[in-house]
Amino acid sequence: MGIGNLHIDIEKVSYKTMADEVEMKLLEYLKKKSFKPGDALPKEMELTEALGVSRNVLREALSRLRMLGMIETKKRRGMVLSSPDILGSLERVMDPLIIDDATLQDIFELRLTLEMGLADILYIRKTKKDIEELEKIALSQKTTSAKQNFRIKHEVEFHGKIYQMTGNRTMQRFQTMLLPIFGHLVNEEKVPIVGKVSHIDLVNLLKNGTREQFREGMRKHLEHHFQKLKK
């Protein structure tokens, strides 16, 4: 850990509100007792007693778990454990204006990594229908203007379709969440750089080429992004 962040970290561990503590204990409790989704949880009053805190504090902690989708509550019925929406909370904070620069860069690289790793699953799951749809998207972009905002829109559409073709909803959603970050960083480019491999080229590779060829195509398509990565 860098010494520069020391004071921040120390404050973070030393100053914990009771809600923080209760949240932690509840998470621990839920995982330790190996509750399964659907299981009923103790009532608020029972928890306040067990934890020795006011209902107020407890509810702040419960509110967090509710946000995470870990619990659901109904009046009179009480609380039940549920399967959390793992990306829900991520969605809330994915704002390029709030996230620090280092993390933004990390996210940018994460997306590049995913993009390069897609080929394997793509070649397992791709269907004729999907490729046709992808081709339609690629062709529709051939004629349109080269303005910056259009270019980005096309990128989003095309690559979004590729993620969709993986059949992996989580991955697809994840990518959608990364888009604002990607757009934010790419928007800072003064001169739009076009890769040597176009969308149409990628479609053709997907049609006739091997997994490896497609991957190399994708690499060339993203080459200008990779060239900007710091060593």
CB of 129 to its own copies, least distance (A): 14
Q: Does 12 bind DNA (CB under 7 A)?
A: no
Helix (H, G, I), strand (E, B) or coil at 72: strand
Helix (H) or strand (E) holding 95: none
Q: Does 178 bind its own copies (CB under 8 A)?
A: no
Q: Does 185 bind its own copies (CB under 8 A)?
A: no
| Residue (80 or 186) nearer to DNA, CB | 80
CB of 140 to its own copies, least distance (A): 26
Q: What strands lie across the sheet with 78-81, from one edge to the other? A: 40-41, 78-81, 71-74
Helix (H, G, I), strand (E, B) or coil at 3: helix
Q: Does 95 bind its own copies (CB under 8 A)?
A: yes
Which residues are CB-contacts of 130 (< 8 A; sequence separation ≥ 6)?
161, 164, 165
x/- mask, DNA, residues 39-78, rule CB under 7 A, reads ----xxx------xxxxxx-xx-x----------xxxxxx
Q: Does 81 bind its own copies (CB under 8 A)?
A: yes
CB of 136 to its own copies, least distance (A): 23
Buried b (16+ CB within 10 A) or exposed e, 28-61: eebeeeebeeeeebeeeeebbeebebeeebbbbb
SS3 percent helix, strand, coil of the chain, rounded to 5, is 70, 5, 30
Q: Tell me the chain's radius of gyration from C-alpha atoms.
A: 23
Interacting span for its own copies (CB under 8 A) from 43-51, 55-63, 133-141, 144-152: 55-63
Backbone angles phi, psi at 56, to 5 degrees: -55, -55
Residue (of 63, 56, 211, 59) closest to 123 by Cα position: 211
Half-sphere exposure of 28 (CA within 13 A, CB side): 7
User: Per DSSP, what are the bridge partners of residue 71?
Assistant: 81
x/- mask, DNA, residues 102-141, rule CB under 7 A, reads ----------------------------------------
Helix (H, G, I), strand (E, B) or coil at 76: coil
CB of 97 to DNA, least distance (A): 22
Interface ranges with DNA (CB under 7 A)? 15, 17-19, 43-45, 52-57, 59-60, 62, 73-79
Interface ranges with its own copies (CB under 8 A)? 19, 23, 27, 30-31, 34, 36-37, 56, 59-61, 63-64, 67-70, 81, 83-84, 86-87, 89-90, 92-95, 97-100, 102-103, 106-107, 109-110, 112-121, 124-125, 166, 168-171, 174, 212, 215-216, 219, 226, 229, 231
